[in-house]
Amino acid sequence: MRPTLRALLLFAGGIPAALVAVLVHPRLWTVWLAYLAAVVVIGGLDALLALPRRRLAFEVEAPAQIFIGDRGVLRVTLRGRGWKRPARVGLLAELDDDLEPQPLAEVTLMPVPEARHAEVVVELPLVPRRRGNLEVVALHLKWTGPMGLMERRTIHVVGARVAVVPNVGAVRAVAARMFSSREFLAGLKVERYIGDGSEFESLREYVPGLDHRAIDWKASARHIKLLCQEFRAERNHQVVMAIDAGHLMSEPLDGIPRLDHAINAGLLLSWFCLRTGDRVGLVGFDDQIRTWADPLGGVHNFARLQHLTADLAYRRVETNFTLALAEITTRLRRRSLVVLITDFLDTITAELMVENVLRLSRRHLVLFVALRDPGLERRALAVPRSVTTLHEAVVANDFARERQIVIERLRLAGVHCIDTEPARFSMNLLNRYLDIKRRELI
């Protein structure tokens, strides 16, 4: 129990009155003594009327799992057992450093006549900044008496663990939306339309409007009616997700690290590839190979990829492109689509990366994917209103120009490139994969 600011101000408010009384007559010092006694009595009464600590009960429900990029809810039930008066309570959650701190929540315990106690339910947002097993450490509570003069405080240790994992929920939502659209499925060429792809699918009877070049004359002669060949895109291609987990990928972009943007988009593309008959592998690397999974087919292998990407840690090390891309070249005997998700700063730091990407592209089809910082683009396009903003615009323009030089160099060498913002990352990656499938470049 401790006095509040209101109690201290009330105590200090009597000092001028005491000084005036003493100046008028020395014997009036008893006025100050009486005032002080009154403040103490009122404070003591306020302390007696405050909610006792032993009557305050807690129930804490923390989510077992949160997807990175989403937010969870910490549900706290406060209950004043046998308490029949409203009580104002301040609630502050002590969270892991990788959970965004939340402000003090002011709530009121309201009497529940049927249950003969006061109760309130508080929902505190949990916004993860990174993946991992994060902790809700404790709850700090404070409340005052009805006059707000005395304050009680208590700490309730929670120790709840919350697993922050790659955003598979978003993958499932996008995938369900896409596969519910017939037009989208037609674009995938898994629907059996004449002229789509080069792999023979079946024969069907010719009807006006079909391409006469697809008529199979030998089959038509055998069946004594015109039959057309139907084709589909080739399946069973190898797609390898190569995800950079170096220090640049640990930097936050739109609230979450670049690495998690890469994992979310990579999982969506992986699910899509598996769903359409391709085989998917995974490489996670920084200064060494951290994760390797050989390409396998079947949607049931998506769980394996999800588990492996969840284990990709944030590391403050320089990415070794020479080691990683050489390992990919050595292990992959069959021509594959290698989706390299990474980032770079300028032409100088990207030089070694470019050399190794070009070397890899001689044997495999490489899709180079980089995440562009929208904040940097805003600074480059902002109207300079001071010398500082002018300098920021110049530097941002220099970075953008050097970034474009690297992208153009790769593109001219035959590497497929995507340089996109986080908001359009997944869809741009998926659309480029579909374009590669339609053109049968793998």
**Which residue has 């089809």 as its token pair?**
365
- Name the pLDDT band for 227 (thresholds 50, 70, 90): confident
| Mean pLDDT score across all residues of the chain | 84
Looking at per-residue pLDDT, the higher value among 23 and 248 belongs to 248
- The DSSP code sequence of 214-274 is GB-HHHHHHHTS-EEEEEE-----EEEEEEE-SGGGGSEETTEEHHHHHHHHHHHHHHHHH
Spatial distance between the Cα atoms of 206 and 209, rounded to a whole number of angstroms: 9
Spatial distance between the Cα atoms of 346 and 67, rounded to a whole number of angstroms: 32
Looking at per-residue pLDDT, the higher value among 183 and 65 belongs to 65
Mean pLDDT of 287-307: 91
Mean pLDDT of 35-57: 82
User: What's the CA angle centered on 67, arms 126 and 258, to 5 degrees?
Assistant: 100
Q: What is the pLDDT of residues 208-217, one digit of tens each?
A: 877 777 788 8
Verdict on whether the full-model pTM lies above 0.85: no
Q: What φ, ψ does residue 356 adopt, rounded to 5°?
A: -75, -35
Q: What percent of the chain shows pLDDT beyond 90?
A: 33
Q: Is the pLDDT of residue 182 over 70?
A: no
Q: What is the pLDDT of residues 407-428, one digit of tens each?
A: 999 999 999 999 999 888 988 9
Identify the CATH homologous superfamily for domain 168-186+235-439: von Willebrand factor, type A domain (3.40.50.410)
Domain boundaries, the chain: 2-49, 53-164, 168-186+235-439, 191-232
Q: What is the largest CA-CA distance in the chain?
A: 130
Mean pLDDT of 90-113: 88
DSSP state of 384: P
- First-to-last CA distance in the chain? 72
Q: Please tell me whether residue 331 adopts helix, strand or coil conformation.
A: helix
Cα dist. 203→186, 191, 276, 428 in Å? 18, 14, 21, 35
The encoded tokens of residue 124 equal: 């505190």
Spatial distance between the Cα atoms of 155 and 94, rounded to a whole number of angstroms: 10
Identify the CATH homologous superfamily for domain 53-164: Immunoglobulins (2.60.40.10)
What was the pLDDT predicted at 289?
94
Residues 6 or more apart whose Cβ sits within 8 Å of residue 212: 206
